[in-house]
Amino acid sequence: MTPRRTVIVTPAVAQAASGNWHTARRWQRLLSRHGEVRIAHQWPDAQADGDTHMIALHAWRSADAVAAWALQRGPGGLAVVLTGPDLYHDIHHDPDAQRSLRLADRLVCLHPRAPAALPPAWVHKAVVVVQSTSERRTLPKTNRHVRAVMVGHLRAEKDPLLLMSAARKLLDQETLFIDHIGAALDPALAQAALQTAADCPRYRWLGPLPHEATRRRIQRAHVLVHPSRMEGGAHVVMEAVCSGTPVIASRIDGNLGLLGEGYGGYFEPGDAAGLAVLMRQACAAPDRADGLLARLRLQCDARRALFAPEAEHAALMALMASLGA
């Protein structure tokens, strides 16, 4: 039998420190327990001859690699991982992304609600692999103020303007401090962040930070704010949950799939006033057992097992078994 060698195709590069890059590296480590695994940015490349399986991140951005695999290898051994932009935009409009759905043997979804976003013809290919993250110690929080943190690059899908708008509505909330971590991928949004920081002295845009530094800030924060418009399954939400930091999040499928339908920390997408109301409630009783943050922390703690590395490893093994030897 030919030894299995899996190639993980991702457009992301290590220097970008994106969620997709971290996913590719983590899956490489988990799958390497059972065979050779490499990461490539395009396919075919100089090492392509030995590849027996492909996991391609992005239906659209990896569409050329997916098409080349299908042409050279035929049916079998091909999984396509669907991100938020894939699920909630590209596969409904873009011919290349739609071709990837057709050619893939398995469509990997990153949260339990994601298969419902697929066109009905391809739902039978869906496999759910919920990503994992390491556990972090829950740190004690001061009751003198509340520190909220948002982690997300300045781009439209993450809706950073919503947090900035909420910060302006909370100027009178002197016990609330807001930190925003993320690179300026849109110059107009970067200018908006700088102006918000000038107008709102307790809002800070910290720019991009190394992953470890970001995790420490999540650990120290009272709450993570996640206002995205679309998500395939945000890793930062898992990192907050597994750090004992509750989450206030937009009511979108990606967040509902990770935090659960009955979670008490949702606001409607694009609703800055609704976000501001929840943040005020967080400030009202940060150290009380019946306060919002305490209630959300209990709900988050109940979800931690979903994001365990052992659960992700088992799901990946099931995926590879479904792709065949």
Q: Give the three-class secondary structure for 64.
A: helix
State the DSSP string of 9-43: E-S--GGGT-HHHHHHHHHHHHHTTSSEEEEESSS
Do 186 and 97 reside in the same domain of the chain? no
Residue 223 belongs to some domain of the structure: yes
306 CB burial (10 A radius; 0-12, 13-18, 19+): buried
Write down the pLDDT at residue 29: 95
- Can you give the residue range of the structural domain that contains 183? 146-306
pTM (2 d.p.): 0.91
Residue 139 belongs to some domain of the structure: no
Residue 183 belongs to some domain of the structure: yes
Q: Calculate helix-pair angle for 272-284, 160-169, nearest 10 degrees.
A: 60
Q: How many domains is the chain built from?
A: 2
For residue 215, give both structure tokens. 């995790």
Q: Calculate helix-pair angle for 19-31, 309-323, nearest 10 degrees.
A: 70
Residue 193 has, within 13 A of its CA and on its CB side, a CA count of 24
Residue found by looking up tokens 């695994």 in the block: 37
Do 266 and 317 reside in the same domain of the chain? no
Do 203 and 85 reside in the same domain of the chain? no
Do 92 and 159 reside in the same domain of the chain? no
Residue found by looking up tokens 């409009």 in the block: 93
Do 162 and 294 reside in the same domain of the chain? yes
Whether cis (ω within 30° of 0) applies to the bond prior to 44 is: yes
Write down the pLDDT at residue 236: 96
Residue pLDDT tens, the chain, 325 long:
567 899 999 986 654 556 788 899 999 999 998 899 999 999 999 999 999 999 999 999 999 999 999 999 988 999 999 998 899 999 999 999 999 999 999 999 999 999 999 999 999 999 999 999 999 998 888 888 999 999 999 999 999 999 999 999 999 999 999 999 999 999 999 999 999 999 999 999 999 999 999 999 999 999 999 999 998 889 999 999 999 999 999 999 999 999 999 999 999 999 999 999 999 999 998 778 889 999 999 999 999 999 999 999 999 999 999 998 5
Write down the pLDDT at residue 288: 83
Distance (Å) of CA 41 to CA 38, 103, 131:
10, 19, 21
